[in-house]
Structure 1
């Protein structure tokens, strides 16, 4: 591999740190883009320089700059293992057409929290993805726990009865989505393999870096129509909404619950700050960015559900959380249950952001209907069947020449925990 020096960039960042007026110049953006292309590509950057870059971005605050974050996200997604999906396949196109409803066009959706809010709440984003799957094509990006008791993939593994659910090769995802389910779980280390070489550097640094920021934005699948992203404090709301805007996202919402310093989901116990991307009107010139609308949501006023203390929505072990999710999918959890309502408001919001309905309360009723009809359970069982099939027939899964990532890359830390 070619060796690359990022010393010019490190000098630029030192000048930025010392400057009285903090201006993110075009040169900084260009050099940051080139540096991360080298770090995540085939060029070798020394551990010392990689550590220096991550440290400089964190302590200058630039790891929260929307221009820099969007540039690194683009590099991350470009370096990720591809999910080979034939969008022209007749069966897949038929599935998308049947899912179309109102302003939802049948594209992929995701819902994820950045993690790190310190509240150790239930796996609400992952559960919400399951609940919304009868109505949406869900590509849930997730990882193991970094700061909470039960990460997204920890709970999914427990719900499936084993970690095999995480080992689905990218080449199998399209077939599973076409033939088995509206749902796919994209285990981050399988797709962001280039982060494996950074694990030791990040561990030795011991603080959050830009990779903790870009992970939730780096879903590797193409054709994402809508997404909800939870952030751990309100100051990040505008930043992340601007990043989504710069990425060309037309349907999205960044949320932060007004609990303590912040909750990276829609809060069950009070108001939630929201930054919603509103699509450019029909007929707008190509490349017109969405606008950002700021408002608040409230469980009672907007969703028609009761308030619940956050203490009643805490995470247990992955196995205990999976038992709760199993009961929810079987429609065995009584109305008014705190965790049930917590999941209802977050999954309903995903339906609204995607465009299935523009009414928050109607969205709650649609999720409840899916549970009564066990439609969410059917989607989960379909996904489970597809994963088991491709586990037993790996030669089919690698037909496109894509193989799963080797080893346990838990330290990648590319996504939120919920």
Structure 2
């Protein structure tokens, strides 16, 4: 295979690093996007130049530039394995219509953190997604642990009782969401297969590269209506909000808890810095970007939940975390428990950002109602049954294998 040289781009990066003005030119953005297309799509850049590019972008600070990130996220999503969702399917359209509530339109929702904050907290994003699924269509993008004890997929496997939940073929995601559950867990390596070509290099480099930034933004599913993204330090908040804005996101929020250098979740022990995308007014031109509103959230004042030391919210092993999640879903963990409250405030935020309700405390109460009725538990049980069927059925027909098809689905909560 012919190799593509990115030497001209590397020279541009040197010039940028040596410049006093540090202007990110349009030529530089285009050149970076072309280089990553050559790496991820064509696989035509040699190892030495790949290493030089990732190193130069990290040490120049360009891997935290919103325009650069946005240009590469587009490449990543274009290169990703597609999730075939038929939005015109009558049953799927009906399901979305039944989920609509206030300003939530029944679209996909995700919550994810960048990781790397060093706090090794409980799998709160994944648990929050599970708690919110009675009200929202969840497409949770996740991966194995990189810097923590238990990554989202590690805990999901433990909760499901096996890795089959990670191996659902993309063509089964649509039927599962239509007929069985409001949940879909999208295991990153299944959809971003091109990242395999840089996995060894990233490990050999031994420092954070732009790929650490891209993962939380690269959910491969189409039709994402809202998302919450946690960042590991406050300096990244505005950057990620601007990336979501450039991506065309109209409902989203970037959060960073005020703990140490930063916590990539809504904090259970004090204030959280927030950058929320406010949708363009009705009647605006189609390409009008959302605006960004900066504010703070506090567990007591905004959610009506007590403060808890972060030490009480630490992660254990995937198996131990899964045991606790199962108890949470079964409404066996009382409100007031540190991890329970930690999950409550993050799941409630999903309801507010998605538009289900406008008030943070009201959102907490809605999550509590669903827990009391064990709706999220039933959604999870139907999801795992459908995943097992999808990975074992030779015909690809999961409807006949799973007990709890469309007629047995939960009615959306009123």
> Structure 2 matches for 1:206-221, cutoff 5 A?
206-221=206-221
- SS at structure 2 position matched to 1:254: strand
Residue by residue over 1:102-134, the C-alpha shift from the partner in whole angstroms, topping out at 9 and shown as x without a partner, is: 000000000001000000000000000000000
Residue by residue over 1:156-198, the C-alpha shift from the partner in whole angstroms, topping out at 9 and shown as x without a partner, is: 0000001111110111100100111000000000000000011
- SS at structure 1 position matched to 2:50: helix
CA distance in structure 2 between the partners assigned to 1:164 and 1:196 by the alignment: 21
> Structure 2 matches for 1:12-27, cutoff 5 A?
12-27=12-27
CA contact (8 A) 2:142 2:187 kept: yes
- SS at structure 2 position matched to 1:127: helix
CA distance in structure 1 between the partners assigned to 2:148 and 2:167 by the alignment: 22
CA contact (8 A) 1:255 1:275 kept: yes
Which structure has more relative contact order (CA 8 Å, sep 6+)? It is 1
CA distance in structure 1 between the partners assigned to 2:248 and 2:90 by the alignment: 27
Question: Aligned-pair distance for 1:334?
Answer: 1.2
Kindly tell me the number of residue pairs found equivalent between the two proteins: 398
CA distance in structure 1 between the partners assigned to 2:261 and 2:335 by the alignment: 30
**Residue aligning to 2:61:** 61
CA distance in structure 1 between the partners assigned to 2:20 and 2:273 by the alignment: 32
**Residue aligning to 1:403:** none
Q: Calculate the aligned-residue CA RMSD, in Å.
A: 0.9
CA distance in structure 2 between the partners assigned to 1:187 and 1:335 by the alignment: 31
Question: Aligned-pair distance for 1:2?
Answer: 3.5
**Residue aligning to 2:411:** none
CA contact (8 A) 1:257 1:267 kept: yes
Pair 1:145 & 2:173 matched = no
CA distance in structure 1 between the partners assigned to 2:309 and 2:62 by the alignment: 35
Structure 1 outlier segments of 4+, above 2 Å: none
Pair 1:174 & 2:174 matched = yes
**Residue aligning to 2:293:** 293
CA distance in structure 1 between the partners assigned to 2:347 and 2:42 by the alignment: 39
CA distance in structure 1 between the partners assigned to 2:103 and 2:305 by the alignment: 25
**Residue aligning to 1:401:** none
Question: Aligned-pair distance for 1:394?
Answer: 4.4
Question: Aligned-pair distance for 1:397?
Answer: 7.0
**Residue aligning to 2:359:** 359
CA distance in structure 2 between the partners assigned to 1:330 and 1:45 by the alignment: 51
**Residue aligning to 2:107:** 107
CA contact (8 A) 1:144 1:153 kept: yes
CA contact (8 A) 2:150 2:317 kept: yes
- SS at structure 1 position matched to 2:261: coil
TM-score normalised per structure 1: 0.94
Question: Aligned-pair distance for 1:395?
Answer: 4.0
Question: Aligned-pair distance for 1:396?
Answer: 1.2
CA contact (8 A) 2:130 2:376 kept: yes
CA contact (8 A) 1:2 1:42 kept: no
**Residue aligning to 2:225:** 225
CA contact (8 A) 1:276 1:293 kept: yes
**Residue aligning to 2:40:** 40
- SS at structure 1 position matched to 2:256: strand
Question: Aligned-pair distance for 1:82?
Answer: 0.2
CA contact (8 A) 2:234 2:262 kept: yes
> Structure 2 matches for 1:132-281, cutoff 5 A?
132-281=132-281
* Structure 1 alignment gaps of length 5 or more: 399-418
Pair 1:338 & 2:334 matched = no
- SS at structure 2 position matched to 1:293: strand
* Structure 2 alignment gaps of length 5 or more: 399-414
TM-score normalised per structure 2: 0.95
